[in-house]
């Protein structure tokens, strides 16, 4: 396999107001819907569950999840006050404040109850994080025995040219700011092999890593 280009880290939190706002108005309906369908498929017919979403951003995924499973309770965490404000408005607007609790916090150091969650999920946080070991330790700590985990993120392509092609193919009419962020995010992402090493280090080898599109990898499975 062609070796991937070196990883180029990007800032962890999306805490500039304009950055958060640009992200929130972008049309992620289809990708978010695909994420929720994948989560529902993996979790099966579980009507009632406590879930945690790490790096919830504008909160669209928990809203979709609770609409699909109205008895679920989701704790939605983000470290960016600007993003969490947007999430709060979206959750209140959807009338789902009783089912979705918003928490400002660092996903690498959360003081949420250990073993408190049947489902741990996250979309697009991993590439933001340089010090990944505490994130995976947190996933392990928050999950109940037998919990389902689904973490989806970008995977770093093998060249900058391929990264540009991926951006052009998948960005539609998005703003130049978002296209540039997408490109930088691809370069900041981890490869499937790097993620497998992270999971082994964290004692999470029970989880699988799989490429699910030209740009996304899934980490998924049930913990022992």
Ligand X SMILES: C[S@@+](CC[C@H](N)C(=O)[O-])C[C@H]1O[C@@H](n2cnc3c(N)ncnc32)[C@H](O)[C@@H]1O
Binding of residue 64 to ligand X (CB under 6 A): no
Q: Which 193-212 residues touch ligand X, going by CB under 6 A?
A: none
Cβ at position 51, least distance to ligand X in Å: 13
Q: Which residue is nearest to ligand X (CB)?
A: 57
Q: Which stretch binds ligand X (CB under 6 A): 50-58, 94-102, 154-162, 208-216?
A: 50-58
Contacts of 218 (CB under 8 A, 6+ apart): 38, 150, 151, 152, 208, 209, 210, 212
Binding of residue 75 to ligand X (CB under 6 A): no
Binding of residue 139 to ligand X (CB under 6 A): no
Q: Which of 69, 64, 70 is nearest to 34 (CA)?
A: 64
What order do you get walking across the sheet with 100-104 strand by strand? 100-104, 73-78, 50-54, 117-123, 143-154, 216-222, 208-211
Cβ closer to ligand X: 92 or 161? 92
Return the residue of 4, 65, 102, 125 that touches ligand X, per CB under 6 A. Answer: 125
Q: Which of 33, 153, 29, 25 is nearest to 89 (CA)?
A: 25
Binding of residue 83 to ligand X (CB under 6 A): yes
Binding of residue 79 to ligand X (CB under 6 A): yes
Contact 60, 36 (CB under 8 A): no
Q: Strand 208-211 and strand 117-123: pairing? A: unpaired
Residue that the structure tokens 């490429």 belong to: 211
Binding of residue 132 to ligand X (CB under 6 A): no
Chain contacts with ligand X (rule: CB under 6 A): 12-14, 28, 55-57, 60-61, 77-80, 83, 106-108, 123-125, 128-129
């Amino acid at each position: 396999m062609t070796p991937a280009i070196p990883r180029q880290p990007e800032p962890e939190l999306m805490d500039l107001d304009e950055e958060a706002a640009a992200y929130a108005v972008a049309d992620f309906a289809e990708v978010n819907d695909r994420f929720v369908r994948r989560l529902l498929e993996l979790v099966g017919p579980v009507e009632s569950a406590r879930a945690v979403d790490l790096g919830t951003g504008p909160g669209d995924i928990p809203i979709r999840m609770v609409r699909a499973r109205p008895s679920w309770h989701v704790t939605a965490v983000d470290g960016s006050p600007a993003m969490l404000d947007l999430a709060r408005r979206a959750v209140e607007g959807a009338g789902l404040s009783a089912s979705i609790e918003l928490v400002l916090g660092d996903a690498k150091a959360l003081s949420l109850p250990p073993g408190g969650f049947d489902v741990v999920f996250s979309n697009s946080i991993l590439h933001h994080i340089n010090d990944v070991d505490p994130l995976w330790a947190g996933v392990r700590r928050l999950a109940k025995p037998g919990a389902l985990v689904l973490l989806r993120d970008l995977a770093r392509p093998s060249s900058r040219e391929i990264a540009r092609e991926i951006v052009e193919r998948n960005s539609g009419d998005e703003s130049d700011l978002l296209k540039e962020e997408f490109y930088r995010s691809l370069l900041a992402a981890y490869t499937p092999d790097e993620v497998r090493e992270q999971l082994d280090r964290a004692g999470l080898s029970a989880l699988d890593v799989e490429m699910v599109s030209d740009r996304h990898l899934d980490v998924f499975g049930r913990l022992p």
